[in-house]
Copies of this chain bind each other. A is one copy, B any other.
Amino acid sequence: MTDTPLRFGLIGTGRIGRVHAANVAADPGALLAWVADPVVSAARDVAAQFGGSATENSRDVIDPERIDAVIIASPTPTHVDLIEAAVDAGIPVLCEKPIDLDIARVDRLRDRVASAGVPVALGFNRRFDPSFASARARVVAGEIGPLEQLTIVSRDPSAPPASYIAVSGGIFRDMTIHDFDMARFFAPDIVEVSAIGTTTFDAGAREHDDFDTAITTMRTAGGALITVINSRHSATGYDQRVEAFGAKGMLQVGNMPIDLVRASTAAFAASSAPFEPFFLTRYAAAYAAELAEFIALARGDASTSPSFEDGRAALVLADAARRSAAERRVVPVRFD
């Protein structure tokens, strides 16, 4: 089977969907066979550029005669049903995060996924970023000793439109969800969550009773403390940092510079360009590595892809953070 390229179905042709389409087309082990989008012209456009047939109906795609693996990049409310259909059809799934905003829906799907024996991977792309992956591997290898503190700074370049905020599920389930997965990437054994949030600059967040600024802290069973610092805007670009600290030292992942130029004048020294502002560029290597890992997973090779359970765990943490911010207290969490 290694010699035949995997036939991929793609459901959803937004920005992320197109990134996956390009990566499938560029990978010698895969080809794009089917593309689905309710806006069929968008599906046709992607198929014309990267290969495959187009349809407006995602159910046309989920067919083992037609595809060997499926990428779900459609809107969040469609994820659960599509995962279920793929699992029923025995087709490995790579689904964009979050699985769903409603943990109850996720839990109803949970046993089905667990018993099906079909790989379901979650699109937590940051795990595949070479720098975050390297830092985590070095922590696991003991370079800094047992992890004592993990600090994640995660700030988007600018707040999304109010219409997006309205259906986003709130900052913790929409934005911090990536940081919850990153936290678990370094420290899976989280046992409690505290969070506070404020709204100081974004009218959309205020309108929909959401936060534009938030701090989440977590404690692990082993006593490590984790801090996530979020903002919905960042003048200097996409601010994505991690600092892992232990008895022997620390490992810090910094921001991606736009270029390698530094300017010095009478006013300042060593001024760099702003951070890369666009998440698809910042994480371009991560998306490609994520796909390669999913291909290995779909082929049955051993894999570390973030799983359905990882997707659920991030949602559990997000819900705990919401509750903590509302109830102004520490909230214990369990993943079992």
A200 near B148: Cβ-Cβ < 8 Å: yes
| Residue ranges of A at the interface with B (Cβ–Cβ < 8 Å) | 130-131, 134-135, 138, 143-144, 146, 148-149, 151, 153, 155, 192, 194, 196-201, 213-215, 217, 219, 222-225, 227, 229, 231, 233, 235-237, 245, 247-257, 259-275, 328-330
Say yes or no: A269-B271 contact (C-beta < 8 A), given A245-B231, A261-B135. yes
Apart from A236-B266, A269-B273, what are 6 other A-B pairs with CB-CB below 8 Å? Answer: A134-B261, A151-B229, A233-B247, A250-B263, A251-B262, A252-B264
Copies of this chain, whole number: 4
Chain B residues in 8 Å Cβ range of A251 = 261-264
A149 near B196: Cβ-Cβ < 8 Å: no
In the complex, how many angstroms separate the beta carbon of A52 from the nearest chain B beta carbon? 18
Nearest CB to that of A197 among chain B residues? B225
A250 near B264: Cβ-Cβ < 8 Å: yes
A146 near B271: Cβ-Cβ < 8 Å: no
Cβ 8 A contact of A201, one of B199, B213, B247, B330 = B247
Say yes or no: A229-B149 contact (C-beta < 8 A), given A194-B196, A264-B249. yes
A213 near B227: Cβ-Cβ < 8 Å: no
Nearest CB to that of A236 among chain B residues? B264
Chain B residues in 8 Å Cβ range of A236 = 249-250, 264-266, 268-269
